[in-house]
Chain A
Amino acid sequence: MFGRSASHFDQVVRAYAAELFHFALWLARDRHRAEDILQEALTRAWRSWGHVKDEGARRAWLYAIVRNEFHREAGRAKRDEAEELDEEALARMTDERDFTRGIEVRQILERLPAPFMEPLVLQNLAGLSCEEVAQVLGVSVGAAMTRISRARSALRDLLRKAEGRPAPNRKETMP
């Protein structure tokens, strides 16, 4: 509907630049890299701006481009295959004894495995539905829901530990 409208691009960039920057920052863990990734990603987005026919899908499309640019820039396109669904790593992380009371949420987010956390970050930061998260990641809806559930459960456990509360019985929360 908007085609390759310059003013529409300006408006969308202005609306989403901050949240896309925070997503790029979470991916790259470095402010300068995050800005470079975001600039390159949106330059690519502008080149194919008119390809998005459903304006409701624009936000998820932008997140997918930022994510792809991060992997392209880092030369880590195969990262998912290498780390995908390493449940044991996630379990080890949440059982670590050095997660002591007072640990900050930011530190927890940095330590949890990215393949699990990424869909949760997308849902949380962008407000995407499970279906949209699945589209961004290029996985099935069921796979996206599984990762989100695992990540949210681990986050909950670690936040409880950080606050000095007992972790819930795993059977209570883990389907």
Chain B
Amino acid sequence: MTELEARRELLADPRRISPELRAAIEADPRLGALREELLAADAAMQRALTSAPVPDGLADRIVLRARYGSRSRWGLAIAATVAALAVGIPSYVRMHGRSLELARDRAIIDHVVQSVDELKDDGRVEPAALRASAAQLGISLRDPAGYRIRHLANCVIAGIESRHFIIEGPRGIVSYVILPGARGDDSERMLHEGGTSGLFARRGDLTVAVLAQNGMGREELESMMRAVLA
């Protein structure tokens, strides 16, 4: 490799270097110095490119808009103005909050329906591990009699790290999701997607959901929620 070829390769990419270029650098200190200078320039450039703070909640907004058709930032701003003029800002805030809750609830049921791999039995998950995992989000769990835990995972749902666990017992397989994010006191709701039904409710600053594919109605889901979530 000639010096000119070595300089050409270094200028194209000083990080990925071929064995031939490495040998050339070892043989010529000027090439090593050039590489160091180019790497320093790249580092300065990267610092400059990434110095601007990323908007809070950016990933959440992207996921919600992409998958659930949330309105754009400008759409939300226009809606806010119209709502404030029509029914006052407090009403808008309540409505927007409910829209966000519904989007998150849909994201939860989508996650449970589409993550078929998570229905596989992971073998025995220790109840203590599940309780500890839930406690990290600030929620206490009971040990439901006659049930065993098939699966426990930290899942990103609507851009938020959540807990998803699945138990199996006399009433079949039931999924639970705990998602950080407060919701209204009166926001408990049922959603259905395909053969899956879900009950969504508030526990402190969390959204909790219990979902099943075996035709459970609201009363049964409420019972399963009470059986597991303290």
Which of B14, B52, B62, B66 sits near A31, CB closer than 8 Å?
Answer: B52
Please report whether the interface of chain A is mostly helix, strand, loop or mixed according to DSSP. Answer: helix
Asked if residues B156 and A35 are in contact (CB atoms below 8 Å), the reply is: no
Asked if residues B67 and A46 are in contact (CB atoms below 8 Å), the reply is: yes
Q: Does B55 contact A (CB under 8 A)?
A: yes
A142 closest partner in B (C-beta) = B12
Q: Assess A148 versus B114: contact at CB under 8 Å? Given A35-B58, A43-B66.
A: no
Asked if residues B11 and A149 are in contact (CB atoms below 8 Å), the reply is: yes
Interface size bracket, A side:
35 or more
Q: Does A136 contact B (CB under 8 A)?
A: no
CA of A153 to CA of B11 in the docked complex: distance in angstroms? Answer: 7
Q: Assess A152 versus B11: contact at CB under 8 Å? Given A6-B107, A13-B159.
A: yes
Which of A42, A121, A127, A159 sits near B41, CB closer than 8 Å?
Answer: A159
Asked if residues A14 and B11 are in contact (CB atoms below 8 Å), the reply is: no
Asked if residues A5 and B42 are in contact (CB atoms below 8 Å), the reply is: no
Q: Does B202 contact A (CB under 8 A)?
A: no
Q: Does B93 contact A (CB under 8 A)?
A: no
Q: Assess A21 versus B54: contact at CB under 8 Å? Given A36-B74, A125-B46.
A: yes
A104 closest partner in B (C-beta) = B48
CA of A124 to CA of B40 in the docked complex: distance in angstroms? Answer: 12
Q: Does B45 contact A (CB under 8 A)?
A: yes
A residues 1-53 touching B (CB-CB < 8 Å):
5-7, 9-11, 13-14, 17-19, 21-22, 25-26, 31-32, 35-36, 38-40, 42-43, 45-46
Minimum CB–CB distance for A72 against chain B, Å: 15
Asked if residues A7 and B114 are in contact (CB atoms below 8 Å), the reply is: yes
CA of A104 to CA of B47 in the docked complex: distance in angstroms? Answer: 11
Minimum CB–CB distance for B83 against chain A, Å: 21
Asked if residues B50 and A125 are in contact (CB atoms below 8 Å), the reply is: yes
Asked if residues B62 and A42 are in contact (CB atoms below 8 Å), the reply is: yes
Minimum CB–CB distance for B60 against chain A, Å: 9
Please report whether the interface of chain B is mostly helix, strand, loop or mixed according to DSSP. Answer: helix
Minimum CB–CB distance for B131 against chain A, Å: 24
Minimum CB–CB distance for B170 against chain A, Å: 29
Q: Does A129 contact B (CB under 8 A)?
A: yes
Chain A positions within 8 Å of B49 at CB level: 22, 26, 109, 121, 124-125
Chain A positions within 8 Å of B111 at CB level: 6-7, 10
Which of A9, A17, A43, A175 sits near B54, CB closer than 8 Å?
Answer: A17
Chain B positions within 8 Å of A149 at CB level: 8, 11-12
Q: Does B95 contact A (CB under 8 A)?
A: no
Asked if residues A106 and B48 are in contact (CB atoms below 8 Å), the reply is: yes
B residues 57-108 touching A (CB-CB < 8 Å):
58-59, 61-63, 65-67, 72-74, 107
Q: Assess A32 versus B73: contact at CB under 8 Å? Given A148-B13, A159-B41.
A: yes
CA of A14 to CA of B16 in the docked complex: distance in angstroms? Answer: 27
Beyond contacts A14-B159, A17-B54, A106-B51: 10 other A-B pairs, Cβ-Cβ < 8 A, are A6-B114, A7-B111, A10-B111, A11-B156, A36-B74, A39-B72, A39-B73, A46-B67, A130-B13, A175-B8
